[in-house]
Structure 1
Amino acid sequence: MSWPMVKLHDICRPKQWKTIAASSLIASGYPVYGANGKIGFYSKFTHEFPTLMITCRGATCGNVHISEPMAYINGNAMALDDIDRSKVDIKYLYYFFLKRGFDDVISGSAQPQITGQGLTKVEIPLPPLLEQKRIAAILDKANDIRQKREQAVKLADDFLRATFLEMFGDPVANPKKWDVASLLEYGSFKNGMNFTKGESGSVLKCLGVGNFKSLATITCMDNIDEIELNTLPSDDYLLKDGDIVFVRSNGNKALVGRCLTIYPNKEKVTFSGFCIRYRIEKSAITAEYLNFLFRTPSMKRQMLSGGQGANIQNISQGTLSALRIPVPPLDKQLAFAKLVDFRASILKKQYDKMSESEKLFDALTGDFFIFNE
């Protein structure tokens, strides 16, 4: 069906409101929206009714949100003011923008931005209001399914983190008085390999910092990029099941110290020079236990302080081997490992369902907005 195309500026008035300094935010009041949702509260509001906004500055430029009523929208988001709600449903507009994106509108490379002038090129297919509401209601249901499955995954993660602390206590405070030791007593470290792009002849996958994201484990190698080398690396550069890999160095300090456990099975996978591999060589400690230990906030802080209280830009084998790690009895570690395995089986089902719901949502938005492509 062909619907009339209208200019965004013909149905609303994009506006950047004054940005509130962080020091002016208060503990309670009217919610304040920044580039990525709520950032605090203020004593005044700019918008009485729910308002659609587009992130217009920074790395998340082009994200869309709908505010609560009685909210303040600051200058890092472009508020779409004065929408004629007798002709336009903002939920319909929200889902259209999710599908459309703003890649053709964003300007600037060092600091991406969207301007009111840039938005003048945006056109919207505008069916009758009742049809807009029908489309939005269908997409609301699909989106709700997607979000509930994401919440189920988060709850499973939160439960396991809480269980870890209940079973073992905080690893830095060590309230249960477990014996402590250096990781070198139970295994060995290896820095990742460096290579040049001009090499050729032998192909294998290489785990890099970009693969970590928020993952705790990797069991499928499909998303790990291949590299080409003149010759295959020695075996100690190839990852094995249960290896724990740390981000050693990165321009983004938030990534330094992040870790995951990898299970490549029989696939040949090496790891980047920006990473450190730890391999368990004694059965007195488990990968599941260490994985959760190193992802607790207190241990992460301890690791990044280098034991000296000052934040550091990178970690080393020396940094990691200097840490004193609580080592609970093996039977307790194995009991926790069983919980991790059970959670993994549950999460696999949830991820499969999430993938299905993502495909459903993408298919529905594609069906409704295919005329825009």
Structure 2
Amino acid sequence: MDLVKLHEICDLKNGFAFKSKDYVDSSNTLSCRMSSIRPGGNFDLEHNKRFLPDDFVELYSDYLLEEGDIVIAMTDLAGDPKILGVPTIVRTNGKNLLQNQRVGKLIVKDNSKVHIPFLQYALNRPINKSYYKKFAGGGLQINVGKKEILNNSIPLPPLNTQKKIAAILDEADKLHQLDKQLIEKYDALTQSFFLDMFGDPVANPKGWEHKPLVKITSKIGSGSTPRGGKESYREEGISLIRSLNIYDNKFKYKNLAHISDEQANKLKNVIVEENDVLFNITGASICRSTIVPNDVLPARVNQHVSILRPLINKLNPLFLNHFLISENVKNQLLGVGSGGGAIMQAITKKQLTDLEVIIPPIELQNQFAERVQAIEAQKAQAQQSLQKSEELFNSLLQKAFKGELI
């Protein structure tokens, strides 16, 4: 399958640098930011959405996006880029969308030669992540420009073949998305149980007792990165849990680091124990929280992750975790944590220790935990199905661009 440079078939238009003071509480006009582009290439307007005044549509008409446009993220975190170079097809959902800075709009030069859904799949191949990673300059972010993006290469078969490939991949992706949606429904069900049983944990309409987190935990603390950084990590050894492993109610094993016994001894103040809640305190993944899985122990944490160890007779770990990931608590914490700046947000240890936590009777917390465990058992089955559908999709994707699918 012939390769072409992207600049041969596309141009790229940069977005506009809207300012934070431009945002309003509500309107029919949204800023299409990098947060709208999700890992894997999904487009999600609801994720961290920001509204702009409706009269901006006329003022900035050059940046108005249309249904079916293809946009691409031009910035990401250097340590673990998830969306850099990832293309997505715009879905307006009846809203006006204005293209923000660091979101590039790809403009196809000749629609008789390029099928946009195929273009999205071609640009979303794993090889692209490797291509963009080489532009990392040692800072916290990778920024790529128009030249770097348009210098990328993609396979480009005849238009009819592009359409057939895209149709097959669309069907495989539907199965994959259904599995993801089922898992999201299980997560939503858990949060619904939490709110039904305990109410809004910030407003506390049920009048539960509440205390600062420090009063109901035996440990709150983060670690550090061993001397030598990534180069000192090992294939096996003591787990070193980093922020990229922590997601809301989920632990990602990919890129789990390991360190030697000697390195681990220098971090003996942050030994992770069974049922510890792990909470991200800095960076773009700030405020993500999960319970450590037993199969990564023994473990330590680095400076971006805090261990929260609840007093079991006061606070069930599952309850604490779902308290932390509930929408209103997360919003409250993000309000606290935004003071560290646009690139590296941070929550200090004092801010964590002072966090007021509702304390329903432990028996009620334990009932909630039992319900959660039952849901998690069903969710585990859905995750197995998701893994199989991902493997199928990736296999078809690989075959498609080797010329083995059509």
TM range (shorter): 0.7 to 0.9
CA gap of 1:221–1:98, structure 2 versus 1, over 3 A, is closer
Tell me the equivalent position of 2:207: 177
> Any conservation in 2 of the 1:171–1:299 contact (CA below 8 Å)?
yes
Tell me the equivalent position of 1:325: 357
- Tell me how far apart the structure 1 counterparts of residues 296 and 5 of structure 2 sit (CA, whole Å): 55
- Tell me how far apart the structure 1 counterparts of residues 276 and 239 of structure 2 sit (CA, whole Å): 15
1:19 matches 2:16? yes
> Any conservation in 2 of the 1:189–1:276 contact (CA below 8 Å)?
no
Tell me the equivalent position of 2:343: none
String of CA shifts for 1:68-87, please: whole Å, max 9, x gaps. Answer: 58976566344333542233
> AA paired with 2:89?
I
Q: Does the residue aligned with 1:15 lie in a helix, a strand or coil?
A: strand
TM-score (norm 1): 0.78
String of CA shifts for 1:34-78, please: whole Å, max 9, x gaps. Answer: 444556562446666733333335554312122358976566344
1:89 matches 2:95? no
1:140 matches 2:138? no
- Tell me how far apart the structure 1 counterparts of residues 338 and 33 of structure 2 sit (CA, whole Å): 30
1:350 matches 2:373? no
Q: Does the residue aligned with 2:277 lie in a helix, a strand or coil?
A: strand
String of CA shifts for 1:114-163, please: whole Å, max 9, x gaps. Answer: 44444554444333322211110000111122222222222221222122
Question: Number of matched residues?
Answer: 360
> AA paired with 1:93?
L
Tell me the equivalent position of 1:365: 397
CA gap of 1:139–1:240, structure 2 versus 1, over 3 A, is same
- Tell me how far apart the structure 1 counterparts of residues 75 and 300 of structure 2 sit (CA, whole Å): 37
- Tell me how far apart the structure 2 counterparts of residues 303 and 350 of structure 1 sit (CA, whole Å): 31
- Tell me how far apart the structure 1 counterparts of residues 6 and 354 of structure 2 sit (CA, whole Å): 59
Q: Does the residue aligned with 2:105 lie in a helix, a strand or coil?
A: strand
Shift in Å, 1:304: 7.0
Instruction: Please say which structure displays the higher CA radius of gyration.
Output: 1
Report runs of 4+ in structure 1 exceeding 6 Å deviation.
198-202
- Tell me how far apart the structure 2 counterparts of residues 114 and 192 of structure 1 sit (CA, whole Å): 32
Structure 1 alignment gaps of length 5 or more: none
1:242 matches 2:275? yes
String of CA shifts for 1:273-329, please: whole Å, max 9, x gaps. Answer: 5544333444343111111112234444666778xx99574332x544444432212
- Tell me how far apart the structure 2 counterparts of residues 192 and 274 of structure 1 sit (CA, whole Å): 7
> Any conservation in 2 of the 1:172–1:299 contact (CA below 8 Å)?
yes
TM-score (norm 2): 0.72
Tell me the equivalent position of 1:155: 185
> Any conservation in 1 of the 2:249–2:290 contact (CA below 8 Å)?
yes
- Tell me how far apart the structure 1 counterparts of residues 268 and 208 of structure 2 sit (CA, whole Å): 34
> Any conservation in 2 of the 1:187–1:281 contact (CA below 8 Å)?
yes
Structure 2 alignment gaps of length 5 or more: 38-44, 78-82, 341-345
CA gap of 1:226–1:84, structure 2 versus 1, over 3 A, is same
- Tell me how far apart the structure 2 counterparts of residues 121 and 197 of structure 1 sit (CA, whole Å): 37
Q: Residues 23-62 of structure 1: matches in 2 within 5 Å?
A: 23=22, 27-28=27-28, 33-35=32-34, 36-37=36-37, 42-43=57-58, 44=61, 50-57=68-75, 59=77, 60-62=83-85
Tell me the equivalent position of 1:126: 156
Tell me the equivalent position of 2:86: 63
> Of residues 283, 302, 326 in structure 2, which corresponds to 1:272?
302
- Tell me how far apart the structure 1 counterparts of residues 225 and 289 of structure 2 sit (CA, whole Å): 22
1:288 matches 2:318? yes
> Any conservation in 2 of the 1:16–1:75 contact (CA below 8 Å)?
no
- Tell me how far apart the structure 2 counterparts of residues 63 and 295 of structure 1 sit (CA, whole Å): 27
> AA paired with 2:169?
L
Aligned-residue RMSD, C-alpha = 4.0
> Of residues 221, 225, 237 in structure 1, which corresponds to 2:257?
225
Shift in Å, 1:209: 2.9
- Tell me how far apart the structure 2 counterparts of residues 58 and 348 of structure 1 sit (CA, whole Å): 30
Higher mean C-alpha deviation, range 198-207 or range 123-132: 198-207
Tell me the equivalent position of 2:219: 189
> AA paired with 1:164?
F
> Any conservation in 2 of the 1:182–1:324 contact (CA below 8 Å)?
yes
Q: Residues 202-213 of structure 1: matches in 2 within 5 Å?
A: 203-212=237-246
> AA paired with 1:189?
K
